[in-house]
Structure 1
Amino acid sequence: MPKLRWLLVGTGDIAKKRVAPAIESEPRSELYAVMDVSEERANAFVKQHPARVFRNFEKAISDPSVDAVYIATPVFLHKKQSIRALRAEKHVLCEKPLALNIEEANEVVRVAAHSDKKFGVAYFRRFYPRYRMVQEMLEKGEFGQVVLVRMTYFSWFNPSENDPKYWRVIPEKSGGGPISDMGTHMIDVLVGLFDVPVSVYARVETLTHQYRVEDSASIIMKLKNGAHVVAAFNWNSKTWSHEFEIIGTEAKVKWHPYDGPKVIKTVGREISDIDIPNHENVHYPLIEDFVSSVLEGREPVVTAEEALKTTKVVDAIYQSANRGKEILL
C-alpha cells in the first residue's frame, strides 16, 4: 500500500520534537517534504529529519506528490494556509487553534465543508487515555451529577523580541495570550467531554507584563446540565501549575499535572492513584487517527467544525471581558 506523503509547513519546536517523529514512525506515512521561509532553519531541520525542502508555500502545495499537509506555523497563517492547501486538493491537519478569531475560523469551516479532502485540527489531548477514561465514567454515570469543572494553567512567559516565540505575545499573530495558547487545549477537552457551555463570564487583563496580549484570565462558565466551570489561565507566575478536575456528587477526577502519568480518582472518601500514561510522543495518536481517516474515508476526531466550538468559546471569553457582561452561547 502506498504511503501518505506529508508536507510539513513550519520547522519550529513542536514540528521538530513531535510532529516529524510522529510522521516518521507512523507506518503508513512518509515525511516527503518540509517548507520554511528560512533556508537556514529548513536545512538544519532536514539534517535530523530527511526530506525535500521548499521555501515557498505555493510551490510546496503544488507538488503533485504531496498528499497531506501539516500546518505548524503561527496562528495568523492558519486560515490562509489551510484554505490554500485544501484548494490545492491536499488533506490538511492544522495546529491549534483553528484560526485567529471566529470570523477566520468560520471561513475555514466553509471551505473544508465543500472540499472532498480531510481536514483536522491538532487538539491532541483528545487522544489521551485519561480523556477516554473520563468519557467512560461519564457514560456509566460514575460521577453522579457533575457539579463543577476546574481548569488551571499558570506559568511565566515573557519572551524577548528576538525570541522565536515572540509572535505569541503579538495579538495580530497569536489571537491572544494564555487563553489562545494553552487555554484552547483545555477548552477543547471541556467541549469534547461536555459540549459548548451555555454561558461565559470573564475578566481578561495584562497585570504583570508589558505586552499587548493578556497575561491573566479568570473565567466562569455554565454547562448544559447546570454545572459550573471555573478556569484561570496565567502567564505571570513562576510557580507553574497545570491541572484539570471534574467533581460530581459521587466521584471526582483530577489530572495534576495535566499531562502527567497519573490520574487521581476519588469515589466518596476513597482516593486512588491510577497509572495511565500517554503515548511517548503525544502527537503520534493524532497523526495515526488522521491517516486512518484518509485511508478509511471517515472524519478525523477533531474536524474543522469540532474545532470551531472551541473558537466560539474563546470568542465569548474575549467578548465578555470587553463588554463586562455574561455572554450566552
Structure 2
Amino acid sequence: MKNTINWGILGDSSIAKKAVIPAIQRSKYAEVVAIASQKGAPQETAEEFNIAKAYSSYNQLLADSQVDVIYLPLPNALHKQWVIEAALKGKHILCEKPAALTSAEAEEMIMACRQKNVQFMEAFMYQFHLQHRRVQEIIASGEIGKVKQMNSSFTYLLNLEEDNIRLNQNLGGGSLYDVGCYCIHASRSILQVEPISVYCEANIDSRTNVDVTVQGVLSFPENVVATFTCSFEQFPMNDYEIIGTKGKIVVPHAFRPDKRNGVGEIIVTTNDGERSEKIETDQYRAQIEYFSSVILEQTEPIYNGQQTIQNMRIMDACFQSMSQKSRVEVTS
C-alpha cells in the first residue's frame, strides 16, 4: 500500500514558497516532487527547495504520473479552470481560498472532481489549529452560557497604489475574497449553524473598483448574530470573539498563529474572572497531513466540496448585499 503522497505545486506564489512547500517538507507521508510556473521561475524555486522537477507549463505538471495531488495557489479567477483541468488528469486538489469567485463556479469544480473520483479541499489552513477545537469544547461545556453573538476581524494594511493581484478586479481581488472568506468560514464553523441572511457595506476603491474594506452582519437562527470586518486599510488583526449569556471567549490570533510560532491563545471571561489557555499547532503542516491522509485512506474530507459551495453562497449574498445596500437572504 502506498504510504507517501507526492505533491505538485501549480504556481510558485509567495504563499507556496513561504508557507505551504515548507509545510509539506515538514510533514509525514508527504513529499513535493514537482513545481510549475508559467510566469515565475520554477527552476529557481525547485533548486531553492530541492524539488526534483520544474515545469514551465501547468499542463506538463498535470501530465506527470508521479504527482498524486496538486496544491493550487493561483489567482482566484484561475481556480475554476485549473481545478477542472487537474481533476480531468486524475489529480487530487488542495485549492487556496476562496475556492472560486461564485457558488456556481464552485459547483462546477466540485462536480468535475466527483466525476473523476478525486478529492478536493479548500485550503482554510487555520481550521486545523487545535485552538478552535478547544473553543468548541468550552462552548459545549456551557461555561459561557448560550451563545448570542460572534465577532471576527481579519485586516491588514496594503499599499492601494501598488500593482497587486489582491487589487485586480479581473483576477478576483478585494478584501472579502482575500480575508473576509475566513471570517465567514469561522462563523459557520464555530457556531455550527448556517446563516439565513446577510447585510454588508463596503468601501470600494475608486482606482481599482475592488472592496478594500467590508463590514458584514450574518443573521443565524434563534437570533444569533455574527459580525465581521475585513480590510486592506486597517491595523492588522486576525481575531474572533464569542459572546454568551454567562461570559465570552476571545481568540486574538485566530487565523495566523503561525506568525507567532504556531502559538494560539484563548481568553475566557466570566463572572468568576478571566483565564487564558495557550495551544500550539503547526497549522500548515496539520492541513497537509490531514489531506494526505484523506487521499491515502480514500476518505472524504470533513471540510468537503458541499461546505465550500455553501461558503461561496454566503459570499455571493454578501456581494449582492454590498451592491444593493440591503439585507439578502442566503440560498441553500
TM-score w.r.t. length of structure 1: 0.92
2 CA distance for matches of 1:278 and 1:225?
33
- Name the Cα RMSD after superposition: 1.7
* CA distance in 1: counterparts of 2:326 and 2:274, whole angstroms: 39
Aligned amino acid, residue 195 of structure 2:
P
Distance 1:299 1:142, change over 3 A: farther
Residue of structure 1 equivalent to 2:227? 230
Asked if structure 1 preserves the Cα contact closer than 8 Å seen for 2:188 and 2:195, the reply is yes
Which secondary structure does the structure 1 equivalent of 2:35 belong to?
strand
The aligned residue for residue 196 of structure 1 is 194
Distance in structure 1 (CA, Å) of the matches to 2:215 and 2:295: 39
CA distance in 2, matches of 1:36, 1:301: 30
Report what 1:78 is aligned to: 79
Deviation by residue 1:226-280 (Cα, 9 ceiling, x = unmatched): 211121222223x33332100001221111133343221112241112111332x
2:51 pairs with 1:47: no
1:246-285 aligned at under 5 Å gives the runs 246-258=242-254, 259-260=256-257, 261-279=264-282, 282-285=283-286
User: In structure 1, what is the Cα distance between the partners aligned to 2:6 and 2:237?
Assistant: 38
Give the partner amino acid of 1:201.
Y
Contact kept in structure 1, 2:103 and 2:310, CA below 8 Å: no
Matching residue's letter, 2:125: F
* Superimposed CA distance per residue, residues 74-118 of structure 1 (whole angstroms, 9 cap, x where no aligned partner): 111111111111111111111111112222112112222323111
SS state at 1:85 partner: helix
Contact persistence 1:85–1:91 (CA under 8 A): yes
Q: Is the counterpart of residue 216 in structure 1 residue 213 in structure 2? A: yes
Structure 2 equivalent of residue 171 of structure 1: 169
1:159 Cα offset (Å)? 4.9
* Paired letter, 2:199: Y
Give the counterpart letter for 2:275 in structure 1.
Answer: S
CA contact (8 A) 2:110 2:120 kept: no
Equivalent position amino acid for 2:49 in 1 = H
Identify unmatched segments of 5+ residues in structure 1: none
Deviation per CA, 1:299-327, whole angstroms, max 9, x where unpaired? 12322221222211111111111112211
Structure 1 contact 200–222 (Cα < 8 Å) conserved: yes
The AA in structure 2 aligned to 1:169 is L
Q: What residue is the counterpart of 1:321 in the other structure?
A: 322
| Letter in structure 1 aligned against 2:278 | D
Instruction: Tell me, yes or no, if the aligned pair for 1:206 and 1:213 is still in contact at 8 Å.
Output: yes
**Alpha-carbon deviations, 1:17-69, whole Å to 9, x = none?**
1111121122211211001013x521221122122001111121111111111
Amino acid at match of 1:288: E
Within-5 A mapping of 1:57-76 = 57-76=58-77
Helix, strand or coil at the partner of 2:221: coil
**Number of residue pairs aligned between Structure 1 and Structure 2:** 320
Aligned with residue 177 of structure 2, among 175, 180, 184: 180
What is the alpha-carbon distance in structure 1 between the residues aligned to residue 265 and residue 147 of structure 2? 21
Deviation at 1:225, TM superposition (A): 3.1
How do 1:3-14 residues align onto structure 2 when only pairs under 5 Å count?
3-14=4-15
Name the TM-score, length of structure 2 as normaliser.
0.91
Which 4+ stretches in 1 moved above 6 angstroms?
none
